[in-house]
A and B are shown apart, each in its own frame.
Chain A
Amino acid sequence: MTQVQYSSVNVGDEIPLLKEKPVSRFTLTLYAGASGDHNPIHIDLDFARKARMPDVFAHGMLSAAYLGRLLTNWVPQRQIRNFSMRFTGITQLGNVPTCTGKIVEKFEADGEKRVRLQIRCSNQYGEEKLAGEAIVALP
């Protein structure tokens, strides 16, 4: 991987997007096991219906993990200083998580060069599911 340099990025630049496979029941079952989040609303249709949801739906933290991959595909993880997000919509079965990031600020703090990114995860219809930001140090 070629190292991203502070001098070679500009405010307004988009980082390479991450497009995932459609969310399936299998995706959610694997994520439940691997994450330790066993909330039945994500894996048990009967429970979801009793909670008056039409079906099971994705863990917010699954999409958060995809946003994490968006960042670590771009820079080594040790350069990530801060990563925050709001869950703005429910990711349904069949949704295609699509993560994007845009540089919105270049600045210096704690003796290092950093960029602030606006990050977003939406589905294939452009409906936003997660929105947030990340601060990344660049050499």
Chain B
Amino acid sequence: MPDRSLIGRSLGETTVEVEKGRLRFFAKAIGETDPVYTDEAAAKAAGYKSLPVPPTFLMCLGGEGRDLEEQLKIYGFEVARILHAEQAFDYHKPAVAGDVLTFSTSVADVYEKKGGALQFVVTQTRVTNQDGEHIADVRSAVVQR
């Protein structure tokens, strides 16, 4: 059982530059064909400075520079036994290619269900850009079976 004293614990900060190539690869992987996500001219015509970061990609960028197994060790979880339980995003400002985003993550909650058979850890991440603008808040829950 992960310790409830983990609640509030900082899991540190990561900083990542949003790269156009990564965004195009992600668009391909998720079957996105809207040129706004792959063609800079289309993105600019839609009012973005460059290619926009699609809704769920913030979660991927937040994982850059983070070692999943190391993070799970803090919870006492094993990679082979976890599943993603919940995910939420609050969007405040668009993020685009060329932005340098900082992800500041902490443990928001720890709980169990089914008499301890399922153990949950929830993290909360504040995303800001190079100008200190608040881009989004990301909440993520993993469960160990």
Contact = CB atoms under 8 A, between A and B. Distances in A.
Interface size on B, as a range, is 35 or more
Interface string A64-93: 111111011100111011111111001000
Contacts of A20: 31
A69 to B, nearest CB: 6
Contacts of A83: 55-56, 88-89, 91
Interface string B16-50: 00000010011011111010100000000011000
A131 B90 CA distance: 17
Given A39-B79, A50-B80, A71-B55, A30 B29 contact: yes
B114 interface: no
Given A33-B25, A61-B56, A66-B30, A41 B90 contact: no
Nearest to B29: A34
B52 A69 contact: no
Contacts of B29: 27, 30-31, 33-35, 62, 65
B80 A34 contact: no
A61 B60 contact: yes
A64 B89 CA distance: 11
Interface residues of A, number: 42
Nearest to B81: A51
Q: Is the interface of B mostly helix, strand, loop or mixed?
A: mixed
A10 B4 CA distance: 44
Interface in A17-55: 20-21, 27, 30-31, 33-37, 39-41, 47, 50-51
A84 B68 contact: no
B113 interface: no
B84 A60 contact: yes
Contact of B60 (A27, A36, A85): A36
A69 B80 contact: no
Contacts of B34: 72-73
Contact of B54 (A33, A37, A39, A77): A77
A36 B64 contact: yes
Given A83-B55, A87-B85, 7 more contacts: A34-B22, A34-B25, A62-B29, A65-B56, A72-B34, A85-B88, A90-B83
9 contacts: A30-B29, A34-B26, A39-B79, A61-B56, A64-B59, A65-B57, A72-B55, A73-B34, A84-B88
